[in-house]
Structures are given as C-alpha cells and as structure tokens.
C-alpha cells in the first residue's frame, strides 16, 4: 500500500518553527557562558546553565524530530540539530525551511 501524503499548510510549518526558533535562541545564549567557562576559564555557575542547556537541547531535538515524523520537513533537520549540538543546527534549519516556504 503506497504512503499517502496529506497537503500541509505553510502556516502549520511556520507555527512549529515559531516554537523552535525562540528555544534555539535561548539555547544559543546559554551556550555562550558554557563555552567561556570552558575556554576562557571564567568562574561561571556551570551546573544550572548546563542543565538548562541540556534540557533545551533535548526539547529542540524532540521538536525537530516530531516535525520530521509529521512530514513537515525532512529528517535532515533533527540530524543537523544533533550534529551541531543544538542551537546552531536548529537556527540553520529554521532559515532553510522558511526560505523554502517563501519561494
């Protein structure tokens, strides 16, 4: 039996991306002090920042995977999110998908 694809409204895709985008921005902001602590040896409370960053990373991967499972975008989006460590891949994926919607 062939798979049936239902047409997806671009508005549904934009709504999902509107949830992913702020999480990716917050995750990127949280990543900066972690990197500063690691490479510049600054005294920063790592545990709460790292824990929040980790939870947001899991949420980003889950949201990207849910969108791929719902066939709103391809599985490349969660893969890029995982490979880049979260926020960078999510931001790049968001930009790529929004450009495809506008063209």
Structural domain contains residue 2 = no
Structural domain contains residue 56 = yes
Q: Other CB atoms closer than 10 Å to residue 90's CB: what's the count?
A: 29
**If DSSP codes are grouped into helix, strand and coil, which group holds residue 24?**
helix
* For residues 9-32, average pLDDT: 94
Structural domain contains residue 14 = yes
Structural domain contains residue 1 = no
Please give the residue range of the domain that contains residue 39. 10-102
Residue 60 near residue 90, CB atoms below 8 Å: yes
Structural domain contains residue 3 = no
- For residue range 38-96, what is the model confidence (pLDDT) as tens digits? 888 888 888 999 999 999 999 999 999 999 999 999 999 999 999 998 899 999 999 99
For residue 1, the model assigns a pLDDT of: 46
Residue 7 near residue 91, CB atoms below 8 Å: no
Structural domain contains residue 50 = yes
Into how many domains does the chain fold? Answer: 1
For residue 43, the model assigns a pLDDT of: 83
Which has more pLDDT, 25 or 7? 25
CA separation for the pair 75, 97 (Å, rounded): 12
């Amino acid at each position: 039996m062939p798979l049936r694809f239902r047409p997806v409204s671009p508005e549904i895709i934009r709504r999902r991306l509107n949830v992913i985008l702020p999480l990716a921005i917050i995750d990127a902001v949280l990543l900066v002090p972690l990197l500063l602590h690691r490479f510049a040896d600054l005294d920063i409370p790592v545990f709460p920042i790292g824990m929040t960053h980790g939870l947001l990373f899991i949420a980003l991967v889950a949201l990207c995977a849910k969108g791929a499972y719902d066939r709103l975008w391809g599985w490349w989006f969660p893969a890029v999110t995982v490979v880049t460590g979260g926020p960078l891949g999510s931001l790049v994926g968001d930009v790529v998908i929004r450009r495809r919607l506008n063209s």
